[in-house]
């Protein structure tokens, strides 16, 4: 019987090197969703947060936000700058805050002094892993004395939003969400022991075949 070891090896190589592609973990950002003049006002006394809950375990690779940079505070010549934080989530008292969860204090990643220019595409300088079914928040605040907008999404989807005044977060889960897309990568599959053993057998047969030629 003639062994087709090259074909077998090729198949194993494909199996062992397979990777899952990028996965969208949250998305209410539609075309044109940042070409409006309405949205959540972000200024020096308020901070806006929006929650997302991944459906799969992933490593975050990109965050896209619809932010405006064209509304400085009256009397200010500063271009609006934003600090963006990815933070954990903690339980809150819905009778006080109006939301079952609110942004926590653990910062998982941050971007500072961003100029909102419609669609902001933010990459992560270091990997951040997120877990399926766990709540996370993207928090946007102005820096320093400026004001702008987090544009409403164009498709009218509601989201869990919160606004911070002082130290208290207020909001609910029936607010019109700000335009946001969160993208990640799922893990690379690890070959099963049977696959590893089959690969070893194929290599051994290939070596033996070369010796017998």
- From first to last of the 213 residues of the chain, give the pLDDT tens digit: 444 444 444 444 444 444 567 999 999 987 766 666 788 888 777 789 999 999 999 999 999 999 876 555 555 555 667 899 999 999 987 777 888 899 999 999 999 888 777 888 999 999 999 999 999 999 998 876 667 788 888 778 899 999 988 778 888 778 888 999 999 999 754 444 554 454 555 555 555 655 665
Contact assessment for residue 139 and residue 84, using Cβ atoms and an 8 Å cutoff: yes
Q: Which residues pair with 144 in a beta bridge?
A: none
Is 195 a member of any domain? no
For residues 106 and 87, give the distance between their C-alpha atoms in angstroms, rounded to a whole number: 6
Per the structure, the complete domain to which residue 147 belongs is given by: 20-187
Is 212 a member of any domain? no
Is 170 a member of any domain? yes
Omega within 30 of 0 (cis) for the link into 144 = yes
Complete edge-to-edge strand list for the sheet that includes strand 136-142: 101-115, 81-91, 136-142, 47-52, 158-165, 168-176
Q: Which residues pair with 185 in a beta bridge?
A: 22, 59
Is 13 a member of any domain? no
Contact assessment for residue 172 and residue 99, using Cβ atoms and an 8 Å cutoff: yes
3-state secondary structure of 24: strand
Q: What is the CA radius of gyration of the chain?
A: 24
Q: Which residues pair with 10 in a beta bridge?
A: none
Residue from 35, 184, 14, 151 nearest 82 by CA: 151
Q: What is the pTM of this model?
A: 0.75
Computed over every residue of the chain, the mean pLDDT equals: 77
How many domains does the chain contain in total? 1
In CATH, what number is assigned to the domain containing residue 68? 2.60.120
The upper half-sphere exposure of residue 101, i.e. CA atoms within 13 Å in the direction of its Cβ, equals 18
Q: How far is CA 75 from CA 25, 78, 146, in A?
A: 40, 9, 10
For residues 109 and 78, give the distance between their C-alpha atoms in angstroms, rounded to a whole number: 25
Is 29 a member of any domain? yes
Hunting for tokens 């972000």 — which residue is that? 42
Is 15 a member of any domain? no
Is 176 a member of any domain? yes
For residue 52, how many other CB atoms are within 10 A of its CB? 22
Angle at 139 between CA 134 and CA 143, to 5 degrees: 160
Is 131 a member of any domain? yes
């Amino acid at each position: 019987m003639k062994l087709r070891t090259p074909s077998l090896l090729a198949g194993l190589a494909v199996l062992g090197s397979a990777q899952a592609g990028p996965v969208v973990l949250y998305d209410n950002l539609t075309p044109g969703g940042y070409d409006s003049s309405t949205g959540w006002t972000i200024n020096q006394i308020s901070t806006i947060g929006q929650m997302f809950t991944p459906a799969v375990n992933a490593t975050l690779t990109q965050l896209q936000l619809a932010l405006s940079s064209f509304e400085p505070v009256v009397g200010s010549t500063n271009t609006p700058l934003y600090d963006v934080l990815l933070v954990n989530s903690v339980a809150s008292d819905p009778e006080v805050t109006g939301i079952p969860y609110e942004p926590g204090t653990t910062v998982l990643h941050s971007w500072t002094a961003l100029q909102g220019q419609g669609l902001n595409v933010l990459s992560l300088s270091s990997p951040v892993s997120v877990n399926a079914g766990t709540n996370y928040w993207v928090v946007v605040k102005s820096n320093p004395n400026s004001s702008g907008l987090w544009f409403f999404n164009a498709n009218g989807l509601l989201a869990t939003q919160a606004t911070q005044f002082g130290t208290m977060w207020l909001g609910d889960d029936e607010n019109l969400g700000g335009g946001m897309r969160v993208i990640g990568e799922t893990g690379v599959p690890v070959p099963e022991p049977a696959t590893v053993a089959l690969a070893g057998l194929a290599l051994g047969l290939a070596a033996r075949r070369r010796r017998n030629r």
